[in-house]
Amino acid sequence: MRQRQRLLDARAPLAAVALLGAAVSCVVLRDPTRAGSFPPCPLLTGFGLHCPGCGGLRAVHALAHAEWSVAWHANALVVAAAVLVGLGLLGWLVAALAGISRRVALPASAGWGALALVTAFTLLRNAPPGAFLTPGG
């Protein structure tokens, strides 16, 4: 009975893993390096500025093909986020299967810190000293 309950508790993390896997599969099947695979970034097209997500699809595509360096050069922020999300999902799934109730409450400062990091990344990648952060830079 306990094993059944653990499997029931693992439904949410398994659903999250399946949803993320489906999204990654779309990026793997439609190569973002080919012109016309995905719509262009409106910020880059309209203003010539790289948003924090520019190169993100290419980074995910490269990660799915174990091309770590290519992924890092496409979008370092997406690579770092992918590692954190992957570890978080793995921890959530393992805890659910072990029967451990995990309630994680992040402080508001974590959200503000993430916003500051994304803002700094965006500003730096659009400034001459941060040219190495632009996709393919």
**Given a cut of 60, is residue 1 above it in pLDDT?**
no
69-87 pLDDT per residue, tens: 999 999 999 999 999 999 9
Half-sphere exposure of 7 (CA within 13 A, CB side): 4
Query: Whats the size of the chain, residue-wise?
Result: 137
Q: What is the DSSP string of 98-115?
A: HT--------HHHHHHHH
Percentage, residues of the chain above pLDDT 90: 55
The sign one gets for the Cα dihedral 111, 56, 79, 16 is positive
**Given a cut of 90, is residue 54 above it in pLDDT?**
yes
CA distance 38 to 57: 9
> pLDDT-based confidence at 101, cuts 50/70/90?
confident
Average pLDDT of the chain to the nearest whole number: 89
pLDDT of residue 53: 93
Q: Which of 119, 71, 56 is nearest to 127 (CA)?
A: 119
pLDDT of residue 100: 80
Total-model pTM: 0.84
Q: What angle do CA 86, 9, 21 make, to 5 degrees?
A: 35
8-33 pLDDT per residue, tens: 778 888 899 999 999 999 999 888 98
Q: Which of 66, 1, 54 is nearest to 28 (CA)?
A: 66
